Chains A and B, each alone.
Chain A
Amino acid sequence: MLKVIGGFFAGIVVVALLVYNYAGNLMFREIPSPFGVEETVARIQQNIQNAGNGWSLSGLRNAAKPIEADGGNVLPVLMIEACSTKYSGPILKDDSLRFLSNLMPCKISVYKKSDGKTYIGMMNAELIGSLFGTMVGGIMKHVAADQARFVVFDASKPAPAMIKGTPGAASGGSGAGAAGGC
């Protein structure tokens, strides 16, 4: 009997360790891009603009800039910020969920690694959303589905120009680009 109980708890510990070890990887996705950093960004931006569902670009950040300003070198990291009022609205209206604005706007990062190749990093919106109840889970499921389309590229189309900063806003960073104010 003791063995059974012991085994049960050992199993719990093992599962907990596995979750602890892999949870991070589950919450994020990294995929290689067939294009360079700028072209990848430009194509994702174009996909976002054509996505419908209330999506708009809210900014483009260059995370390498502050490090360079500080005298250090880091490979390029660009973060595309996008927002859909259709999805953000219901969450932001609910007082018990407003803290989730921490996760807004949606971010997709595009970066180069030391192998010289370009990668795309995304949050697993569906999994993270499912941690916060059915309403958020349902919304984030749609977000995840849209996000997956953002990184589908049609190489036969010419490369669009990268949109720097926030369209319609004064400078870079997440401004008031989207009407919903996310």
Chain B
Amino acid sequence: MLSRLKFILPLAAASALLAVPAAFAVPAKPEAMIAPQAQTTPQVQAEAVGKPKAASTGDHSKFKELQKNFKTGPEVTQACLTCHTEAARQVQHTKHWTWESTDPKTGQVRGKKNIINNYCTSPVSNEKDCMACHAGYGWKDNSFDFKVEKNVDCLICHDTTGTYRKLPGDAGHPVYKRVEFPKGSGKFVEPADLKKVAQSIGMPSRSNCGSCHFFGAGGNGAKHGDLDASLQHPGKYLDVHMNEKGLNFSCVTCHATSSHEVSGSRYNVAAAVEGPAHIRGKKDESPAACQSCHSDKPHHESRLNQHTDKLACQTCHIPLYARNEIGTEASWDWSQATIMGPDGKPTASKDSAGRRKFDTKKGTWVWDSHVIPEYRWYNGVSTYKVIGDKIDPSRTVQINEVGGSPNDPDSRIWPTKVHRGKQPYDKVNNYLTVQHTAGEDATALWHNFDWQKAIGTGMKTAGLKYSGEYGFVDTEMTWPITHMVAPKHDALSCAQCHSKHGRLQGIEGVYLPSRDNNKWLDLAGWTLVLLSLIGVLIHGGLRIYTGKNKGQHK
């Protein structure tokens, strides 16, 4: 940029000097120009106030089953099930209900219920809080019955009023009584009118999915980096598909759903989809992947298409993630938790951008915006550390080992978010610990600030032996980045990878012209070139020398 300036500036300086006398000669125009960024455009609320032309053939406000003053969520569900007889059982087969996922290739049983991540770690023993994001009612401990149909929460996904809210502490029940939240904030959450909510259900919108997925790890944008509340009303720059004034996709446009089974999941990523674009609706052939609509040869230029055998679309088309002020968490250090403020009381502080930085309850965080992804070979299969898996505390523990290799035809180079953590583990048994963090009881970490008790209760609930000795271990969790697709002119340019210190510097197993060369060939080649130059110079020099000696007789 400075190099361009160095041309413009002297010019500008010269013209400014010339312009001064001219400026005095000509009276200034009275109109004032207003810089565009000084103007504040009021955010237009996208949620339609009036009812749009309904896609459904039934008007739920006219159904007699819904003309009741519902007291609880399960009552609403029972009403739903009178017509939608199979709905609950369908939901009960999905991850949204079980919090479990089986890897079709390895058979490993993962899911939130079974893994310990490096954000909030585990919901086990913390169900009352965590289950605010469970598509069900009443999962407060291990005794939860996964067969009870009326405990399926229809409204969290199908509410269109935006008034239906589930808060931590209620084990998945919505707010039934006016409550201050967060505690001590002076802000109150009103209970939803369940009758009205039940009568105005619809297809899941961005805010339905976003109410959990935008706020993973307990904060806006904290967990994913490519999912946050800015996707509620994104501009074209942030997400070319969800752009409100453009294509205006909702989440389920790509995450096509049948029988309540939502396609696309980081647990089973369609990492290397090949072939032409799919016809949506054909079962199993319609993954939530770019290629489903764009095919594996989406560019006009064939040279770009020939990259699709090695690169995921996301690698070029999501050049940076968390491209907003919300940002995302780069790291979470639990070892700083329980440290009190100078007055001996729990304290919390924010960083310069107003994001959480320290909390006696949870430790320290580092946030970043406009983050350059880390690139990995990835075949869509991750092996997770599940509760009780042994770890090697002398090395950084991988919460999930990202599968894939350069020679695997199902692998592509993917952009990922790597979240670094420091979290407790059992020093004798060498596994990550489950801790009882949330709650008001005597062993909850956030109430008593005692790791020993919190881990003791957590481990007991998880059914794991605890040695009584804990330490903190460095961990990494790798997330494929797939949302926030930038407009095409913002995709990575060739030289951002095809150069010595480019984006793919650390990627092995693939030959990148301009990044890679055979150093022996280069050495031999340039030596040969140099030798021939020297050779002709000597030969020519000798010709001139001997020619001069003999005088010019031609």
Contact = CB atoms under 8 A, between A and B. Distances in A.
A38 B352 contact: yes
Contacts of B243: 71
21 contacts: A20-B6, A20-B10, A24-B3, A24-B7, A24-B9, A36-B368, A39-B352, A61-B37, A66-B37, A68-B235, A69-B36, A72-B487, A72-B489, A73-B490, A99-B16, A131-B13, A160-B352, A162-B353, A172-B37, A172-B40, A173-B35
B37 A23 contact: no
Q: Which 10 A-B pairs have the closest CB atoms?
A: A24-B6, A173-B38, A71-B236, A42-B352, A38-B353, A73-B490, A38-B352, A39-B352, A68-B237, A162-B352
A76 interface: yes
B372 interface: yes
Contacts of A9: none
Interface in A16-63: 20-25, 27-28, 30, 36-39, 41-43, 61-63
Given A24-B2, A24-B7, A73-B487, A63 B37 contact: yes
Contacts of B353: 38-39, 162
A161 B354 contact: yes
A37 B369 CA distance: 9
Nearest to A36: B368
B237 A67 contact: yes
Contacts of A63: 37
Contact of B9 (A23, A66, A69, A158): A23
Contact of B20 (A22, A24, A25, A99): A99
A161 B5 CA distance: 32
A52 B308 CA distance: 58
A159 interface: yes
Contacts of A65: 37
Interface string A71-90: 11101100000000000000
A141 interface: no
Interface string B279-292: 00000000000000
Contacts of A172: 37-38, 40
Interface in B482-538: 486-487, 489-490, 496
Most buried by A among B236, B319, B489: B236
Contacts of A66: 36-37
Contacts of B357: 159
A172 B40 CA distance: 8
B372 A72 contact: no
Q: How large is the interface on B (under 10, 10 to 19, 20 to 34, 35 or more residues)?
A: 35 or more
A37 B323 CA distance: 13
A158 B349 contact: yes
Interface residues of A, number: 45
A71 B37 contact: no
A72 B490 contact: yes
B465 interface: no
A28 B5 contact: yes
A1 to B, nearest CB: 32
A79 B261 CA distance: 47
Contacts of A76: 369-370
B2 A75 contact: no
Given A28-B5, A38-B369, A73-B486, 6 more contacts: A25-B2, A38-B351, A76-B370, A159-B351, A173-B37, A173-B38
Interface in A125-165: 131, 158-162
Interface string B285-301: 00000000000000000
**Residue of A41, A112, A174 with most chain B CB atoms under a 10 A cut-off:** A112
A64 B226 CA distance: 19
A57 to B, nearest CB: 14
Contacts of B238: 68
Interface in B212-240: 235-238
Interface in B5-19: 5-10, 13, 16
Contact of B235 (A36, A69, A114, A173): A69
A48 to B, nearest CB: 14
B37 A39 contact: no
Given A38-B351, A41-B352, A63-B37, A24 B5 contact: yes
Contacts of A21: 6
A22 B352 contact: no
Contacts of A30: 2
B320 interface: yes
B38 A171 contact: yes
A116 interface: yes
B503 to A, nearest CB: 9
A164 to B, nearest CB: 9
B350 interface: yes
A61 B8 CA distance: 23
Contacts of A38: 351-353, 369
A2 to B, nearest CB: 29
A71 B354 CA distance: 26
A76 B352 CA distance: 15
B544 interface: no
Contact of B237 (A23, A37, A73): A73
Contacts of B369: 37-38, 76
Interface in B180-205: none
Interface string B14-55: 001000100100000000000111101100000000000000
Given A73-B490, A99-B23, A22 B6 contact: yes
Nearest to B243: A71
A172 B486 CA distance: 27
Contact of A23 (B6, B40, B352, B368): B6
Contact of B352 (A24, A116, A159): A159
Given A116-B372, A159-B352, A160-B352, A71 B237 contact: yes
